[in-house]
Amino acid sequence: MLDMANARQPAVLRPVLVLPGHVVDHCTHCDVRSQSVCGALPAEDLAHLALAARSIKVGAGHMVFEETANADSFFNITSGTARLFKLLPDGRRQITGFVGRGSFLGLAAGTAHAISAEAITDIQLCRFTRTDLMNLLSDFPALERRLLTLACNDLAAAQAQMLLLGRKSARERLACFLVAQSRVISACGHPQMHLHLPMTRTDIADYLGLTIETVSRSFSALKKEKLIALPSASEVMLCDLPALLAIAEGED
């Protein structure tokens, strides 16, 4: 996707002749900016970003892009949740992650997407063409640095997930998932005990490398032990976060 072979060196900023107010506002007033790649740019450079970004919407259940498809677009999620996944020919699916507000989509080397992305809820995205993004990266080193940080974070998360998929029990996997989800929430506030899960049990199963039945049974088991409560299938209360954390890290 990012064809990084041909790095353009010096960075002469392209002149921006016309900057109508609403275009500037587009990025200046974006409330996810601080949490996303865009946060790497100082306020005075946002106009360049706003010119390249095109806001689009993808309805729940629709694809954003598909694995092996030519990666000529990159996206920044401004609202909603999407799943990232890979498929085997016979339909087996592995979800590699759930992404939401502020996440950058399309990060990968080469010209083809390594994974597919599909909207779970309706989502709002900022779309960048590959050429525009490459130009921005060359003009603003801070942007490229931020992207490298993001890639490294994604890599660390992927490594943690490999440990989960390769070596943890169903119970440990679910505890991991719940604790991680609670961190997503608490990132924008104090550590929350109450979660809303936008994804189905099937999604969770495909993320944790289990079947939907095993996920359901594991939910029920944690509930019986009073570590969680389930007001509804998509609502979870984490009643004993320390205990869940211990299970998640394999300390039992």
Partner DNA sequence: CGTTATCTTGACGTACATCAAATGTCGTGG
Partner DNA sequence: CCACGACATTTGATGTACGTCAAGATAACG
Q: For residues 237 and 185, what is the distance between their CA atoms, to the nearest angstrom?
A: 13
- Is 184:102 a contact under the CB 8 Å cutoff? no
The yes or no reply on residue 43 touching a second copy (CB under 8 A) is no
The yes or no reply on residue 201 touching DNA (CB under 7 A) is yes
The nearer residue to a second copy, 157 or 188, going by C-beta atoms, is 157
The yes or no reply on residue 63 touching a second copy (CB under 8 A) is no
Q: For residues 90 and 105, what is the distance between their CA atoms, to the nearest angstrom?
A: 26
The nearer residue to a second copy, 24 or 87, going by C-beta atoms, is 87
Q: For residues 63 and 83, what is the distance between their CA atoms, to the nearest angstrom?
A: 10
Q: Where are the alpha helices (DSSP H) in the chain?
A: 21-28, 46-52, 130-139, 141-167, 170-186, 201-208, 212-224, 241-248
The yes or no reply on residue 114 touching a second copy (CB under 8 A) is yes
The yes or no reply on residue 141 touching a second copy (CB under 8 A) is yes
Name the binder of 216 from a second copy, DNA, none, CB < 5-8 A by kind. DNA
Based on its alpha-carbon atoms, the radius of gyration of the chain, rounded to whole angstroms, reads: 20
Per CB under 7 A, which of residues 160..189 are in contact with DNA? 169-171
Per CB under 8 A, which of residues 197..216 are in contact with a second copy? 206, 208-209
Q: How far is CA 6 from CA 145, 151, 152, in A?
A: 17, 19, 21
The yes or no reply on residue 202 touching DNA (CB under 7 A) is yes
The yes or no reply on residue 161 touching a second copy (CB under 8 A) is yes
Chain contacts with DNA (rule: CB under 7 A): 169-171, 200-202, 209-217, 219-220, 230, 232-234
